[in-house]
């Protein structure tokens, strides 16, 4: 024990004494053998196994196990084949004897050790056989309850070996064993550093790729225990134990939103500040282990604000990091002298993700000044490092990532950067715009690409027209050209331009011209631009870089067509479309565009905003461009389609799934807004026609009533003129000729009025029919408008239902975890009660025992 704990190394005399004692033990157990009949290793192991199984005295079994332990390294195959099951049986029957348990566990650990060089991988084979029985794992976990050093440490080492070889199977077994994870967590509170450190290595293997175990450890106050160990070891000044604690912490936090929220809500982020409180500028204070420790802690901070986390967790962690002063500490690290390059790179990447998309942190970073003469802003210092050829590649990429993160969703920051490029009063000090221009138009290929990508990040819809105002003075020529034309000139006229520079300029132009018709028109006003792009697309090449350049030229040509507003006569939208379809060929054009999205570099850039420095020469795209490509590619395809129309189906919105992207939702809503706007115009025209017809109908109806009253009056006059009896003929004879004449005229007038009345009634019927049709159309349009509003309401309900389901699922997961913890505590209480009853010689009925077993199974 002294040798294990204090690093005691025995000399040769101790080894000789140990050998003599071991020989005497084996001789006393097996009996003396003739000199010419030395037993083989298999025979010796077999006799020792028989001695273990047949001995009735505990001391004999202990001596036999001690002998097997001494032979387990040399005769690994023999001991593993014959003794494993026997040792397991001894551990079950003699578990109260710490010494015999320790010998058995050490023997198993030696047999299943995978670090020794054995051609047959015997350790792996014995492990696979051992873990087939879950009772064996339960036996090892129960051994951890023994406080004796001789038992606990070999049990921890054996479990670690099992996890290294078969982590997934063992994790599942530990999950179903009551209090399995809790027993392993108790190792962190062991006062003996050797067992605590071995427990850290065990947890490091246990927490790999299992979210359930990660959550249980977090709820078992795993973070607090790890932070307490880090504090006791001296934070960054600690040794490899701090590194192991941080490695376990990374496993618990990585891709686990629940643990990230728990870490933040437990107020553990402020405890990280103490880790960085030391003199970073002193080179003598940076040892190798300290560099590793600080690097691991920076990775822990990055995991909390990683772009792959939920937006809610990212924003909350960013707020806490700024509030507790950790962001201030990290910024001081960035510009402190004497910081190792590895730490500086990791610090810049960490600050980039802490400020990315969070306006408060971006504003704070904008105010950071580096201690120099004259003082310079942190952004300017980053850009100077980015364009400098003397800096390491990884550092330049980290500076670009930090610059992009500062500009991400930061309208005010983007405007400040563009304003440094615009014409203004002469400044004596170096500006951001000057550094960007020097990097973009310089001779360094990587600086060209980084500057182009950084400028593309600073362009939004409002600033793209502003950048057209930038004028550049050409040295030696005494003339000025626009910033846009200079980018085009370099791209067109430089025949020996490297691929990375060409791709960077094309990315900048594609970002600039997309959704900016003014920039498209200025681009088309130069007659040589379109022939250059079409010539690049028509080229046949086998090099990957040239294929990507050809695809980007096709994309830029498609953007010019898609966002053309028809205000220039050099190249109309239809001319560009005919050029693509008939000269280049639609199939070849699509092939060039699709090659970009299928390239390995594009796929890698689409996964994460962080730019890795694995292969500098093959770094062509960044994350922002991949998002632009996915949006523009559909617009270009629609512009080339003859039959493309805006979606008008009534059930289109109902088919939207809850996980559809926000960009798709916005495009669908925009199309429906245009459709509703067109229908409103048609509806106003129909209503106007309806009002005119209604007015005509009213006038015609009043005229008809007037004519009907006149006809009635004429009828009464005819009745008056007709004779009432035959005796009244005296006066008729006098007026016979007049009456006949007037009667004939009146009858003719009545007939004419009847004809007019019939024709007018027929016209009224026709107009009533037409009015009914128009009213039906109006009601149909109103109904369609109602359908559109109903679809929008249905879409909002679907989105709301999806959010509610997601929240409900998270609540159910939290409740399930709480119930699991309560069930584990209840199982522990039941186990203690059973032990207490057995110690007091109180029998337990079979039904109670069966219930307990069923609970354990549960």
Q: Which of the two residues, 700 and 324, has the higher pLDDT score?
A: 324
Identify the pLDDT of residue 114: 80
Identify the pLDDT of residue 268: 93
Whether the CB-CB separation of 161 and 127 falls below 8 Å is answered with yes
Confidence class for position 79, pLDDT limits 50, 70, 90:
confident
Confidence class for position 636, pLDDT limits 50, 70, 90:
very high
Packed helices 730-839 and 211-219: angle between N→C axes, nearest 10 degrees: 70
Identify the pLDDT of residue 703: 73
Please report the sign of the dihedral spanned by the C-alpha atoms of residue 799, residue 803, residue 805, residue 806. Answer: positive
- Please say if the pLDDT value at position 198 is more than 60: yes
Q: What is the DSSP letter of 284?
A: G
Identify the pLDDT of residue 846: 46
Whether the CB-CB separation of 112 and 126 falls below 8 Å is answered with yes
Please report the sign of the dihedral spanned by the C-alpha atoms of residue 526, residue 532, residue 537, residue 538. Answer: positive
Residues in the chain: 858
Average pLDDT over residues 217-236: 93
pLDDT in tens, 366-397: 999 987 777 889 999 999 999 999 999 999 99
**Top-ranked range on mean pLDDT: pick from 320-334, 660-674, 731-745:** 320-334
Q: Where are the alpha helices (DSSP H) in 408-538?
A: 411-419, 432-440, 445-457, 464-467, 483-493, 499-513, 517-524, 529-538
Whether the CB-CB separation of 580 and 561 falls below 8 Å is answered with yes
Average pLDDT over residues 186-193: 92
Place of tokens 């290294």: 164
Q: Are strands 369-370 and 376-377 parallel, antiparallel or unpaired?
A: antiparallel
CA-to-CA dists, residue 671 to 566, 569, 638, 663, 784, angstroms:
21, 29, 13, 12, 15
Average pLDDT over residues 607-636: 87
Helix (H) / strand (E) element for 9: namely none
- Please say if the pLDDT value at position 94 is more than 90: no
- Please say if the pLDDT value at position 733 is more than 60: no
Q: What is the DSSP letter of 619?
A: -
- Please say if the pLDDT value at position 256 is more than 80: yes
Identify the pLDDT of residue 565: 83
Average pLDDT over residues 176-200: 92
What is the rounded distance in angstroms from the CA atom of residue 627 to the CA atom of residue 608? 11
What is the percent of the chain where pLDDT is above 90? Answer: 43
CB-CB neighbours of 78 under 10 Å? 22
pLDDT in tens, 503-532: 999 999 999 999 999 999 999 988 888 999
Confidence class for position 280, pLDDT limits 50, 70, 90:
low
Helix (H) / strand (E) element for 280: namely none
Q: Are strands 471-473 and 376-377 parallel, antiparallel or unpaired?
A: unpaired
Residues contacting residue 632 through CB under 8 Å, at least 6 positions apart? 510, 514, 555, 558, 559, 562
* Phi, psi dihedrals of residue 476, rounded to the nearest 5°: 85, -15
What is the rounded distance in angstroms from the CA atom of residue 793 to the CA atom of residue 795? 5
Q: What is the DSSP letter of 846?
A: H
Whether the CB-CB separation of 159 and 143 falls below 8 Å is answered with no
- Please say if the pLDDT value at position 615 is more than 80: no
Of the given ranges (120-129, 191-200, 784-793), which has the lowest mean pLDDT?
A: 784-793
Of the given ranges (65-69, 89-93, 132-136, 648-652), which has the lowest mean pLDDT?
A: 648-652
CB-CB neighbours of 227 under 10 Å? 20
Which burial class, exposed, middle or buried, applies to 432 when counting CB atoms under 10 A from its CB (0-12, 13-18, 19+)? buried
What is the rounded distance in angstroms from the CA atom of residue 792 to the CA atom of residue 211? 38
Q: Tokens at residue 386, please?
A: 């980015």
Identify the pLDDT of residue 108: 92
- Please say if the pLDDT value at position 745 is more than 50: yes
Whether the CB-CB separation of 407 and 417 falls below 8 Å is answered with yes
Identify the pLDDT of residue 603: 92
Place of tokens 């190798």: 288
Whether the CB-CB separation of 202 and 163 falls below 8 Å is answered with yes
When the pLDDT of each residue in the chain is averaged and rounded to a whole number, the result is: 80
Which burial class, exposed, middle or buried, applies to 822 when counting CB atoms under 10 A from its CB (0-12, 13-18, 19+)? exposed
CB-CB neighbours of 366 under 10 Å? 16
What is the rounded distance in angstroms from the CA atom of residue 163 to the CA atom of residue 184? 13
Spacing of C-alpha 791 from chain mean position: 29
- Which of 614, 606, 596, 494 minimizes the C-alpha distance to 549? 596
Whether the CB-CB separation of 422 and 477 falls below 8 Å is answered with no
Q: Which of the two residues, 283 and 379, has the higher pLDDT score?
A: 379
CB-CB neighbours of 490 under 10 Å? 16
Q: Tokens at residue 642, please?
A: 């003859």
């Amino acid at each position: 024990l002294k040798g294990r704990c204090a690093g005691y190394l025995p000399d040769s005399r101790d080894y000789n004494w140990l050998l003599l004692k071991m020989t005497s033990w084996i001789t006393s157990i097996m009996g003396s053998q003739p000199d010419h009949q030395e037993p083989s290793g298999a025979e010796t192991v077999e006799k020792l196994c028989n001695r273990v199984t047949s001995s009735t005295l505990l001391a004999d079994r202990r001596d036999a196990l001690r002998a097997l332990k001494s032979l387990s390294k040399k005769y690994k195959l023999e001991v593993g084949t014959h003794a494993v099951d026997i040792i397991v049986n001894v551990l079950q029957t003699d578990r109260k004897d710490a010494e015999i348990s320790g010998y058995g566990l050490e023997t198993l650990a030696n047999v299943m050790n995978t670090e020794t060089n054995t051609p047959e991988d015997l350790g792996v084979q014995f492990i696979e056989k051992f873990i087939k029985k879950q009772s064996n794992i339960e036996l090892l976990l129960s051994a951890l309850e023994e406080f004796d050093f001789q038992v606990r440490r070999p049990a921890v080492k054996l479990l670690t070996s099992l996890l290294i070889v078969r982590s997934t199977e063992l994790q599942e077994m530990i999950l179903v064993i009551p209090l399995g994870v809790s027993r392993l967590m108790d190792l962190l509170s062991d006062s003996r550093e050797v067992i605590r450190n071995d427990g850290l290595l065990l947890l490091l293997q246990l927490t790999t790729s299992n979210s359930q175990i990660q959550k249980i450890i977090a709820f078992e106050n795993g973070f607090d225990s790890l932070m307490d160990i880090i504090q006791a070891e001296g934070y960054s000044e600690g040794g490899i134990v701090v590194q192991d604690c941080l490695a376990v912490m990374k496993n618990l936090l990585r891709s686990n939103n629940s643990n990230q929220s728990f870490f933040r809500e437990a107020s553990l982020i402020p405890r990280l500040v103490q880790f960085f409180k030391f003199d970073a500028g002193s080179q003598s204070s940076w040892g190798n282990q300290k560099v590793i420790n600080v690097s691991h802690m920076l990775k822990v901070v990055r995991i909390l604000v990683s772009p792959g986390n939920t937006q809610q967790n990212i924003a909350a962690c960013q707020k806490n990091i700024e509030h507790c002063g950790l962001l201030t500490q990290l910024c001081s690290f960035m510009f402190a002298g004497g910081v190792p390059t590895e730490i500086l790179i990791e610090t810049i990447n960490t600050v980039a993700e802490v400020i990315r998309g969070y306006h408060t942190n971006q504003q704070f970073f904008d105010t950071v000044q580096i201690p120099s003469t004259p003082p310079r802003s942190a952004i300017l210092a980053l850009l100077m490092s980015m364009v400098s050829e003397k800096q390491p590649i990884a550092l330049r990429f980290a500076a670009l990532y930090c610059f992009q993160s500062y500009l991400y969703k930061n309208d005010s920051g983007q405007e400040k950067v563009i304003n440094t490029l615009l014409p203004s009063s002469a400044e004596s000090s170096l500006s951001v715009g000057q550094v960007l221009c020097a990097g973009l138009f310089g001779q360094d290929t990587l600086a060209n690409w980084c500057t182009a990508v950084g400028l593309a990040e600073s362009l939004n819809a409002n600033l793209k027209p502003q950048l057209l105002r930038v004028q550049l003075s050409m040295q030696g020529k005494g003339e000025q050209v626009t910033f846009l034309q200079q980018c085009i000139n370099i791209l067109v006229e430089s025949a020996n331009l490297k691929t990375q520079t060409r791709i960077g300029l094309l990315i900048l132009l594609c970002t600039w011209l997309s959704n900016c018709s003014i920039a498209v028109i200025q681009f088309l006003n130069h007659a040589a631009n379109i022939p250059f792009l079409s010539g690049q697309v028509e080229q046949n090449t086998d090099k990957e870089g040239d294929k990507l350049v050809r695809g980007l030229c096709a994309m830029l040509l498609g953007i010019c067509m898609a966002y053309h507003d028809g205000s220039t006569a050099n190249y109309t939208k239809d001319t560009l479309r005919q050029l693509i379809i008939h000269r280049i060929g639609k199939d070849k054009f699509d092939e060039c565009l699709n090659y970009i999205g299928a390239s390995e570099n594009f796929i890698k850039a689409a996964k994460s905003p962080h730019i890795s420095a694995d292969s500098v020469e093959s770094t062509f795209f960044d994350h922002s461009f991949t998002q632009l490509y996915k949006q523009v590619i559909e617009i270009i395809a629609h512009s080339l389609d003859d039959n493309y129309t805006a979606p008008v189906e009534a059930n289109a919105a109902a088919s939207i799934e809850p996980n559809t992207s926000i960009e798709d939702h916005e495009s669908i809503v925009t199309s429906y807004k245009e459709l509703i706007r067109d229908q409103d115009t048609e509806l106003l025209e129909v209503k106007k026609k309806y009002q005119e017809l209604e007015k005509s109908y009213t006038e015609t109806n009043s005229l008809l009533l007037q004519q009907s009253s006149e006809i009635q009056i004429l009828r009464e006059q005819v009745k008056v003129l007709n004779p009432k009896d035959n005796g009244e003929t005296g006066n008729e004879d006098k007026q016979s000729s007049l009456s006949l004449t007037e009667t004939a005229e009146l009858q003719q007038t009545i007939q004419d009025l009847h004809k007019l009345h019939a024709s007018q009634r027929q016209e009224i019927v026709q107009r009533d029919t037409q009015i009914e049709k128009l009213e039906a159309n109006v009601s149909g349009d109103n109904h369609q408008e109602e359908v559109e509003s109903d679809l929008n309401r249905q879409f909002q309900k679907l989105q709301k239902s999806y959010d509610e389901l997601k929240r409900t699922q998270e609540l159910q997961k939290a409740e399930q975890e709480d119930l699991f913890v309560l069930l584990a505590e209840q199982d522990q209480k039941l186990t203690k009660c059973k032990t207490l009853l057995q110690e007091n010689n109180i029998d337990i009925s079979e039904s109670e025992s069966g219930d307990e077993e069923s609970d354990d199974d549960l």
